[in-house]
Structure formats: C-alpha cells, structure tokens
Amino acid sequence: MNAKNPSAQPLRRLGDWWEGVVLGYSKRSRPAKIGIGALFALFFYALPLLRPPIITTNDIDFGGVLFSSAAFALVALGLNIVIGYAGLLDLGYVGFYATGAYTTGVLTSQHWHWPFFLALPVAIAVTMVTGVILGAPTLRVRGDYLAIVTLGFGEIIRLVVTNVGWLGASAGIKDIPHPNNIGPAPEPPFHPGGLFAIPRLQWDGFIPSIDHTPVHQTHFLVFGALDAIPYYWLVLTALVAVFLGDRLIKASRVGRAWEATREDEDAAELMGVPTFRYKLLAFALGAAIGGLSGSLYASSQGGYINPQSFPLLLSMLFVAAVIVGGSGNRWGAIAGGVLVAYLPERFRGFSDYRLLAFGIALMVLAIWRPQGLFPSTRARRAKAAEAEIDELEEGAAHV
Amino acid sequence: MSEQTKTIAAPADKLLEVDDVTIKFGGLTALDSVTFDIKRGEILGLIGPNGAGKTTCFNVMTGVYQATSGQVRLDGKPLAKMKRHEITRLGMARTFQNIRLFKSMTVLENVMVGADANSKVGFLNALFRTPLHRRTESAAKARARELLDLVGIKADDSELAANLSYGDQRRLEIARAMATEPKLLCLDEPAAGFNPAEKQRLMELIRKVRDAGYTVLLIEHDMRLVMGVTDRIVVLEFGRKIAEGTPAEIRDNPAVIAAYLGVEEDDDAAS
Amino acid sequence: MHFDVLFHDFAAYTAGGLVYGAIYALIALGYTMVYGVLQLINFAHSEVFMYGTFAVAWVFVALHGTDQVSWSLGKAAPMLLVAVIVAMLVSAGIALLLERVAYRPLMKKGAPKLIALISAIGASFALSEAMGLRDRITGWFGLDGKLSNYVGGARNVYSNPVTIKPHNLFSIGSYNVTDIDVVIIVAALLMMLALDIFVGKTKFGRGIRAVAQDPESASLMGVNSTRVIQVTFLVGGLMAGVAATLYMLKIGSTRQQAGFIFGVKAFTAAVMGGIGNLRGALIGGLILGVVENWGSAVFGSEWKDVVSFVLLVLILLVRPSGILGEALGKARA
C-alpha cells in the first residue's frame, strides 16, 4: 500500500507492521477479537509481576513507573478526545487534573472523610461541570485564543489552590486515604492483609524464577504505602474502561460530528451538525477523564497533593504526549503518554537533561514528523493517498 | 420541456417564499426588493451576470445572511436568525461552489454525516450501544448507500473523499446534502469545471433528484444547462429581479438578453 | 478585599504598575509583531527575553568582576550602555536562531498552526533548559572552569554583581519615584517611538505591514517575505533586549525561568491591546501593569498573577480583538 520509497524510514516499516497487525486483528470474528483483547489486557495486568528484562527499571520501583505511565496514558487518552478528535487545542488540561485531585482531597481528607470510591465519581462530576462552565463561553473563540484561554485557566486553578486556605494553600492536602482494600486490612508488622499474596518473577539474565521474598509479594488487594502495583491495576482498569468507551463513542455519529467539525466547521454546520454542542461534549468528556486521573493520583501512594504538583509544564507534557503519539489516534495517545512518563524514568541517569531532550524532541518531531509517531487512521490514509499521487506523477513524468 | 409530470398531485404549493427581501451591507445594496417563490417539486434556476447578487440571494435564502428587510419563508415558516445547523434541520441543504467535502473522511462517512442531521441518538446511546443506536446506524448506512447509488458513484464506500475524481466529488456533495432529507436542495454552481458530457450526466441527475421527490434550486452560469433542466428561472441583475418565467420565456426576454449582452450560447467562460 | 488600601494610595499603585507595565510592553512587542506577520504565537519569546537578562549580568561580570557592589545609576551608566547593546544583540541573535531553526522549516512546509506551536513550545523548553544546564554544557568543552563566573549557579538565581541603587526623585503618594523608574518609562516610550517610525516610515516597515496584510500580494510586489520575517524577529528581539536591561535595572537578578512569568504577562498584554497592533502592545502592557498592581492592593500580593490571568481570560471572552483591535496590516501601526 505504501510507495516503495527508497528512503523508507524504520518508522514507516514499524507503521506498516502495526497496520498489518491491526488488519489481521480486524479480520477475526467478534468472539476472537474479544479473546485477543482480553489476553492483551491480561498481559499488561501481569506486567509488573512478570518484570521482563530490559523493560523493567531496576533502579526505580517498576510498579511505580508503570503506575505513572498508565496514569499519563489515561490523561493522554482524555486529552486526545479534546485535541485529536474535536481539534480543540487545550493548553491547560492540568487544571482538570488538579480539580479532580483537589475535589478528592477535600472530600476525603481536608473537610470531610468520605471513602475514596465515593469521592471518585463526585470528583469526576465536579470536573466535568467545570469543563462545561469553562467551555461554554470559550469554545466560541478562535483556535489560537482557545489555547491561551485554557492556559490561563490552568494557571488560575493552580494559583487559586495555592492561595486559598480552605483548599490547603501552599501546604497542600495530606492524608488522603488510599482506595478501599479488598480483604482484611493490613496489620503491621506481621499481617500484610488482603485475600492472598501474589509473588513476582525475578530474572537471571534471561532465565526467570519465582521471587519468594515476602516483601516482594503483592497482596490482593491492599492499597498500601509500599507496593505500587495495586494502584497500577486500578489505573489500568480505568484506562481500559475509558479506552472502550472512547471506541464506542468515536464509532458513532458523535465521532463523525467531531471529525467533520475538525475538517471544515462551517460545512459541517451547514450539513446539520450542531458543532458547538459536540465541541462542548468533547471538552466535557476530556474534563471528566482529567478529573478521573487527578482523583486517582490524589489517592495514590503519597496521599498528598500540593499546588506544585500541577505546574504549566504538566499541561505541556500532556499535550506533547498526545501530539507525539499521533493526534487523533487513541493508541498513539497511550503510546505517547507512556513514552513521556516512562522514558525519563528509564533513563534516570540523564534526568537532568530530560527537559532539554524533551524540548529538542518536540522541535524535531514538529519539523520532521508532525503527524506523530502513530498517526491517526485518517492521517495515514491521507498520507497513503498523497504517496500514491506522487507515484502517479512520477510515473507520468517518465512517460 | 419543463412540462414534466410533477410528482405532487396537489396544486403548485409554495415551498420557499422570498418576500420583498432587501439586504444592505453598509452603503451597498446587494439585493433590492427581491420577490419570488419556489414551488414544491420544481427545479428553479437562479441566474444573472457576475455581481448580480446570486450568491448573496442564495445566502439569504439559506439563512446564512440576515435580510435587512423582507422575509424568507420555508413552508410558511419565516427564517428567523437561527443557527446554521437548525436551518438544515428545517429542511434546506446545499452544495458548495468550491466543493467542501470532508476530505479525510470516507465516501460513506461523508454521506452519513448528512444523514446524522436527523438522528435522534446522542453520545449516551452510542456509549451503551442501545438498540435505538444500532437501528439508527444501520438505517443511516443503508440510506447513504442508496444515495451514493442514486447519484452514480461507483467508488468503494471506504475510499477517502479526497481520492475521488472531480466529478465524483461533486456528486458526493449532492449525495451528502440529500442525506439530510431536505425539502429544498440548493445546488451552487454544480457544473463548474465539467465538460459537456459530464454536464449532460448532471442534468439527468438533477432530474432524477427531482423525481425522487426533492425540490431543487440551481445557481448556474451555464445557460444550456439551466435552460435544459429547469422548470422556471429567476433572473437577477444588480440585486434586482429583472425577469421570471419558463426557460422559453426567459430566452426571448429582451431585458435578460440585454443584461447578458446576448451570451446565451456555451457559457463556460464565466466560471 | 481591601479597596480602601487601593484608594488610599491610588496614584502610588498606579505609578508603580506603570513601571512594570513598560517592561511588559516592550516584551509584548515581540509577541505582537510575530503574530501580526505569521499568525504564530512565538511561545519561545520569553526565552529571548531571558537570555537578554543574562547578557546584561554577564556584561557586568566581564567588565567589573564578581565583587558585589552597589552603585548609583550615574556610575553604572557606562557599563549599562554596553550592557544594553550586548543584550539587544544577544536577544536578537536568539530570536533569529529561533526563526531559522524552529519556524522557517515549518513555514516552508505550510504546516498547520498547531504544529508550529508545538515547535515553539519545544524551543522554549530547549532554550531555557540550555541556560539552566550551562555549566554542564560548557563542561563538555572543558570551558566550565574558565567561564565559572558566568555559568556558575546553573538553575539558581544569577545575580548582577552590581546592584544599582535607586535614587528617589519625587513621590507620588506613598510611592517614591526613583531615577530607575524614570529611565524605564522613558526608555520604553523612546523604543516605542523608534519602532513606530520604523514600521510606519521605512522600507522594511512597509514590507512588514504588507506581509502582515496579505503575504501573497506582498511577494507578488517583490517583497522578500523571508527577509521580512527575519526582520520581524530581529526587531522583536531588540525590543526584548532593552526590556531585559530595564528588568535587570529594576530587579537585579535573573534565572533560567525568568522568562516564563514575564513572557506570559507580556503575551496577555499583547492580546489585550489587540494582537498585531503595536500601539496596542504598549497600551496593553501599561494597563496590565497597572491593573495587576491594583489587584495586589485589593486582594493581596499573592493574587497578583491570578489577576493577570483572569484579565486575559476575560478580555479574550469579551473582546477577543483586544482594546485597540488587531491590526499590524492596517496603515496605522
């Protein structure tokens, strides 16, 4: 399908291989697809226990790294709906993240003592409402300006939580409870709690064996202070749920409306698409997912949030994750999110150069591969079409 | 030639009424007391030399511009200041002079966007894949395929709109507009860039569309096309209506001839 | 809310705000010109400014050494003059580098704005990080020892060794207007005037206006748009260099992130005044400086930045074209 271009980059071959995989998958029957999907998901649940060589970060808690990768991927999925599907440039997404986190903090620790799983849906709802309130006046504004308004909003949220005592001011909110455990609660130092313990694998080169060290076991399902893996599982579950929801919504008139609005808003309107309504929907859904991630973050291991955790930089990283992965492609968003979270941890030795590398990478990407690492189907199709036309033209020129 | 069977048995019914419409942009009067009707089931042509106000008139009729005075009524209902997508819901759809398809969407998707205009399902239905959603989706797909067949696009459903030939792109735009189930279908210079054979095909398509039950408004520069396919013609010059009647009447109308200075043969030059 | 505080010392808060406003205005010019010509938000302009501030401090280190002293404005004037020239050159240089590396390749491809914004964000990070890592980077070339006076401190605050002591000239209410304040305001107004003349009366200025209004016709008329774009960035950089000098005059120290907050505020000012509108940048800058100062009086100084952002959001919602309206392309600057 792609032109036999002598300068085919490795990325294109990777892209082709991926397309082959996707094509193979799409040819299967429905039950087979569900089966494959389940196995695929299962692998990721097992990943922190399998600890395969090369990928595993040995100098830093692998479970923790997976947790932040999954959390970033979740955020990227949400932002992908806003930027990738609806074409709205949001530079203040951290505002929604913070709203979710702080709502959770306020409900579970600062002023009330709700259990986490009760606070979670409220945090999502509050953030969604915030998204609607922000979106209603601003989505009518031009694209560049929307970017700046959202940036301003993100900063306003951060500054408000820094200065308002009721929200913890600059000290933040602490003692946010962990999600509720399943099974007996841990009673240190002898009873780790939970229903059963799951050991992990250890590797000697490429030879695996079971690691029987008690402290290396994961207790199902205890959200404690030391083991990041249950948190990772929780975020992963949210990720899977959002992913499925995303697929369902995109493959409907909503997805078509978003794409049409992105392509040519005026024409879409004249074809009967209520563009403003669907832009607002995208914004609200994005906000809800941001709130979900923020809430999970608040309740994760530290149980502590403060305004410094929500800088503008984070909004930029979120945007980068979506763009790098390939705006409009949910797998790309996940990949982008994982990359942006994982790479700095994997190459911790170079941590001081992280942001510099990040800045350079963004520029390089923008100039050489603006469609991202895993461009959306339509970007790929458009590129393929272009390549075909180029080929035809070249052929005609040789006649 | 336009004494074709009108599929509507009832006496000629006014679908769109342009009632004494004037529109001024600052000091410029673009339309001056223009009045005419479009009858249900007819093909009406709107012509005039360059700068006559056809596009402005078209935009007022489709609700894009607000008239300074006068009124436009669709099915008796005045077009007040409303959102563009609401006008489409009311029953007016259009194509564009410079083709505005959703280029990175497929052929089928483009038409389905039109069909979605009448959809009653929202995101919750989509999320939970309710029976209503499933029914609506398959109905929209079926309708889209039907329309693609009607306009004569042979390309694959999953072909990108950008990859279609020019002629097919124009036809796709018509299919998309029809998918919104309009009462009035407005075609804005649909023959621009066509060769005579394609224009012939277009004329047949327009007749087919009318026979399928739609009312058509046609803006065109090509006289042969307009004379050949319309039931009635309205002629504008400098923002005023200077003539109205059947193609035969218009052809012999001295005012019209004067306005065009007799260029009624192959008028491909204008576009 | 302490409205009484504000009203009691209204003139003082206003005067104080004007001084910062003048600095915002000069930085805002860079944003507004680039947007006017390219419809691009030059996110990295904040770093153009930041490098200028370091240049000023470095000049003093080079000429005076690292001993901390406190001089009057008069005594510092000669070095200040050198500093402003160097700062202008450095800022302009960074701006031109940006244009060449981060934007021109995209402009050539006709890339969508979003992509250009991403490149701008990347450039912004790259530049500010490079400054923060200056000790490491010079270390690669073995120069960190020789240049330790310049690259020391890395991510921390880098101070100008010469603190310029302000000298009170007169008072407005409880605010003492100093010689530094006067220099700042006068310098800003002079630069504004110079820019006005440049854009209004010179060949380059006409070129800029032409490209801003209609790039295609401009090139048909023989205007070299690449050159024009370069000049636009250059001039924005020069203005930022002056702003950087004034900043160092007033504040005396800088750091890797110094560009960020001033940059965002300057951008707010540009938008407020009408993006693309040079006089708008001036008005916007002054108004922003004043209003945020009022805000800090009424709400407390910790809310100062919130006031700026809220103002930005409100303006964009209520009057997106800004106070004076968007307009680089129009005849009046």
Judged by a CB distance cut-off of 8 A, whether residue A246 touches chain B is no
DSSP helix/strand/coil, A164? coil
Question: Subunits touching B (CB < 8 Å, at least 3 pairs)?
Answer: A
CA distance A149 to A143: 10
Structural domain boundaries enclosing C119 = 3-318
pLDDT over 90 percentage in chain A: 27
Judged by a CB distance cut-off of 8 A, whether residue C123 touches chain A is yes
CA distance A382 to A331: 18
DSSP helix/strand/coil, C58? helix
Residue C328 lies in a domain: no
* Interface contact B160-A256, CB threshold 8 A: no
CB B164 within 8 A of CB B155: yes
Question: B188 - beta bridge partners?
Answer: B219
Contacts of A281 in chain B (CB under 8 A): 123
In angstroms, the Cα distances linking C221 to A193, A352, B193, C202, C227 are 79, 50, 30, 16, 14
User: Does residue A4 carry a pLDDT above 70?
Assistant: no
Q: Which of B89, B102, B128 sits opposite A272 (nearest CB)?
A: B89
Q: How far is A192 from chain C (nearest CA, A)?
A: 43
CB C234 within 8 A of CB C137: no
Higher-confidence position of B260 and C63: C63
For Cα atoms C273, C274, C276, give the angle at the middle one, nearest 5 degrees: 120
CATH of the domain at C40: 1.10.3470
Higher-confidence position of A320 and A5: A320
* Interface contact C309-A155, CB threshold 8 A: yes
Segment C155-169 shows an average pLDDT of 84
Tokens of C115: 């992509």
CB C30 within 8 A of CB C259: no
Closest-CA residue of chain C to A372: C115
Residue C333 lies in a domain: no
Residue C307 lies in a domain: yes
User: Does residue A2 carry a pLDDT above 70?
Assistant: no
Locate the domains of chain A by residue range: 60-185+225-373
State the angle between helix axes of A330-346 and A312-325 in degrees (0 to 180), rounded to the nearest 10: 120
Q: How far is B260 from chain A (nearest CA, A)?
A: 32
Identity of residue B130: T
Residue C324 lies in a domain: no
Task: Identify the DSSP state of A110.
Answer: I
Q: Residues near C27 by Cβ (< 8 Å), separated by ≥ 6?
A: C45, C46, C49, C239, C240, C243, C262, C263, C266, C285
User: Does residue C131 carry a pLDDT above 80?
Assistant: yes
Q: How far is B148 from chain A (nearest CA, A)?
A: 16
Segment A121-144 shows an average pLDDT of 89
CA distance B240 to B31: 6
Q: Which of B85, B93, B96 sits opposite A274 (nearest CB)?
A: B85
Q: Residues near A3 by Cβ (< 8 Å), separated by ≥ 6?
A: A387, A388, A390, A391
Q: How far is C70 from chain A (nearest CA, A)?
A: 35
* Interface contact B119-A274, CB threshold 8 A: no
CB pairs < 8 Å spanning A and C: 120
Judged by a CB distance cut-off of 8 A, whether residue A266 touches chain B is yes
Mutate to test the interface with B, among A253, A266, A390 (most CBs of B within 10 A): A253
Chain centroid to Cα B66, Å, comes to 19
For chain C, give the mean pLDDT.
Answer: 86
Question: Subunits touching A (CB < 8 Å, at least 3 pairs)?
Answer: B, C
Judged by a CB distance cut-off of 8 A, whether residue A274 touches chain B is yes
Tell me how far apart the 2 most distant CA atoms of chain A are, in Å.
Answer: 83
Q: Which pLDDT score is estimated for C233?
A: 94
Q: Phi and psi (nearest 5°) for B71? A: -145, 150
Q: Which of C105, C130, C267 sits opposite A367 (nearest CB)?
A: C105
Identity of residue C34: V
Q: Which pLDDT score is estimated for A382?
A: 62
User: Does residue A1 carry a pLDDT above 50?
Assistant: no
Mutate to test the interface with C, among A167, A317, A351, A362 (most CBs of C within 10 A): A362
b/e code A210-244 from CB counts within 10 Å (16+ = b): ebeeeebbbbbbbbbeebbbbbbbbbbebbbebbe
CB C40 within 8 A of CB C34: yes
pLDDT band at residue A384 using 50, 70 and 90 as cut-offs: low
CB C220 within 8 A of CB C169: no
* Interface contact B85-A273, CB threshold 8 A: yes
User: Does residue A348 carry a pLDDT above 80?
Assistant: no
pLDDT over 70 percentage in chain A: 87
DSSP helix/strand/coil, A173? strand
Per-residue model confidence as pLDDT tens digits over A158-175: 989 998 888 888 888 888
Mutate to test the interface with C, among A130, A145, A263, A376 (most CBs of C within 10 A): A145
* Interface contact B105-A382, CB threshold 8 A: no
Q: Residues near C194 by Cβ (< 8 Å), separated by ≥ 6?
A: none
User: Would residue C277 be called left, alpha or beta, if left means φ above 0 and alpha means ψ between -120 and 50 degrees?
Assistant: beta
Contacts of C111 in chain A (CB under 8 A): 366, 370
The CATH number given to A60-185+225-373 is: 1.10.3470
User: Does residue A338 carry a pLDDT above 90?
Assistant: no
CB B82 within 8 A of CB B65: no
Q: Which pLDDT score is estimated for C313?
A: 82
Q: pLDDT tens track of chain B, all 271 residues?
A: 444 444 444 445 888 888 899 988 878 888 989 999 999 999 999 998 887 888 888 888 887 788 888 888 888 888 877 788 888 888 899 998 889 999 889 999 999 999 999 888 888 888 888 899 999 999 999 999 999 999 988 878 888 898 899 989 999 999 999 999 999 999 999 998 888 999 999 999 999 999 988 999 999 888 889 999 999 999 998 888 999 999 999 888 888 888 876 555 554 444 4
Residue C332 lies in a domain: no
Closest-CA residue of chain A to B62: A270
Q: Which pLDDT score is estimated for C190?
A: 93
Give me the sign of the Cα torsion angle A356, A359, A364, A369: positive
Total structural domains in chain C?
1
Judged by a CB distance cut-off of 8 A, whether residue A260 touches chain B is yes
Tokens of B234: 């309205």
Tokens of B1: 């030639």
Per-residue model confidence as pLDDT tens digits over A242-254: 999 999 999 999 9
> Nearest 10 degrees: CA dihedral of A348, A351, A354, A355?
150
Burial of A289 (C-beta count, 10 Å sphere; 0-12/13-18/19+): buried
Residue C326 lies in a domain: no
User: Does residue C235 carry a pLDDT above 70?
Assistant: yes
pLDDT band at residue A236 using 50, 70 and 90 as cut-offs: very high
Tell me how far apart the 2 most distant CA atoms of chain C are, in Å.
Answer: 60
Chain A contacts in chain C segment 266-295 (CB below 8 A): 267-268, 271
User: Does residue C23 carry a pLDDT above 90?
Assistant: yes
CA distance B224 to B247: 10
Contacts of C269 in chain A (CB under 8 A): none
In angstroms, the Cα distances linking B109 to A195, A251, B179 are 50, 11, 11
Segment C33-59 shows an average pLDDT of 91
* Interface contact A385-B162, CB threshold 8 A: yes
CB A93 within 8 A of CB A315: yes
State the angle between helix axes of B166-179 and B107-116 in degrees (0 to 180), rounded to the nearest 10: 20
Q: Which pLDDT score is estimated for C327?
A: 60
State the angle between helix axes of B131-151 and A253-263 in degrees (0 to 180), rounded to the nearest 10: 50
Identify which of A238, A218, A380, A374 has the alpha carbon closest to the alpha carbon of residue A299. Answer: A238
Judged by a CB distance cut-off of 8 A, whether residue A316 touches chain C is yes
CA distance B118 to B181: 8
DSSP helix/strand/coil, C163? strand
Closest-CA residue of chain B to A272: B85
* Interface contact A379-B102, CB threshold 8 A: no
* Interface contact A367-C116, CB threshold 8 A: no
Rg of chain C over Cα atoms, rounded to whole angstroms, equals 20
The number of CA neighbours under 13 Å toward the Cβ of C241 is 24
What is the strand order of the sheet B69-74 is part of? B28-39, B14-25, B69-74, B77-78
b/e code C243-263 from CB counts within 10 Å (16+ = b): bbbbbbbbebbbbbbbbbebb
CA distance B9 to A169: 76
The three-state DSSP-derived secondary structure of C99-145 is: HHHHHHHHHHHCCCHHHHHHHHHHHHHHHHHHHHCHHHHHHHCCCCC
Closest-CA residue of chain A to B91: A272
CA distance C155 to C258: 11
Closest-CA residue of chain A to B103: A263
DSSP helix/strand/coil, C320? coil
* Interface contact A271-B117, CB threshold 8 A: yes
CB pairs < 8 Å spanning A and B: 105
Burial of A5 (C-beta count, 10 Å sphere; 0-12/13-18/19+): exposed
Higher-confidence position of A387 and C95: C95
Q: Which of C41, C300, C316 sits opposite A149 (nearest CB)?
A: C316
Contacts of A163 in chain C (CB under 8 A): 300, 302-303, 306
Contacts of A257 in chain B (CB under 8 A): 113, 116
Weakest-pLDDT range from A112-121, A343-352, A368-377, B123-132: A343-352
Tokens of C196: 């006005």
Judged by a CB distance cut-off of 8 A, whether residue A397 touches chain B is no
Q: Which of C122, C306, C313 sits opposite A366 (nearest CB)?
A: C122
For Cα atoms A354, A359, A365, give the angle at the middle one, nearest 5 degrees: 120
Q: How far is B102 from chain A (nearest CA, A)?
A: 6
Q: Which of A253, A257, A378 sits opposite B104 (nearest CB)?
A: A378
Identify which of C320, C314, C311, C318 has the alpha carbon closest to the alpha carbon of residue C24. Answer: C311
Q: Which pLDDT score is estimated for A268?
A: 92
Chain A contacts in chain C segment 1-40 (CB below 8 A): 39
Residue C91 lies in a domain: yes
CB B160 within 8 A of CB A381: yes
User: Does residue A296 carry a pLDDT above 80?
Assistant: yes
Q: Which pLDDT score is estimated for A211?
A: 80
Q: Which of C126, C264, C317 sits opposite A363 (nearest CB)?
A: C126
What residue ranges define each of the domains in chain B, with the CATH number in brackets? 1-13+36-91+182-271 (3.40.50.300)
Q: Residues near B199 by Cβ (< 8 Å), separated by ≥ 6?
A: B191, B222, B224, B225
Q: Which pLDDT score is estimated for B9?
A: 45
